Amino acid sequence: MNKAVDVIVGSPICRRGAFIIDKFLANQKEIQQNYPSSELVLATEESDFIEELEKRLSFYELRGRVIPFEVVKPDYARSRLWNIACGREALRKYVLFQTAARYLLSLDSDITFDPSIIPIWQLVALPIAYGHYGEAVLQPLVR
């Protein structure tokens, strides 16, 4: 297997939203088989969920890791979307400051994807992409 990581596939995750975690991780295994220089990074704000996620990564023989993050939101914020935004920000900072990866592909953990998603996505030649339910937003990654 190629040791260099070119693409980080990142996903914020919490127990409440992990209802298809096994399907998602099996799909990530297919993605890694199609693109061996990728790594899955799961970001969670639940410290008691980290060990379980690490065991699941190991079970599926995935190249990856789990990173913790803290949710920081204003007092008036009631939506859990703040948690997702903080998770995505933790992933972005991780890629920028702790890896040499050239790309971040942020995927929701409650959706499965075409196993060829990385080569398909790279056809548009932008270094960062966020996608959700039929709409993709592509943005350049600035170091």
Tell me how far apart the alpha carbons of residues 6 and 136 are, in angstroms, rounded to a whole number.
Answer: 21
In the predicted model, what is the mean pLDDT of the chain? 86
Q: Binning pLDDT at 50, 70 and 90, where does residue 94 land?
A: very high
Q: What's phi and psi for 103, nearest 5 deg?
A: -140, 150
Domains of the chain: 7-139 (3.90.550.10)
Condensed to tens digits (0 to 9), the pLDDT of residues 1-24 reads: 457 899 999 999 999 989 999 999
Which pLDDT value is given to residue 97? 94
pTM for the predicted model, two decimal places: 0.85
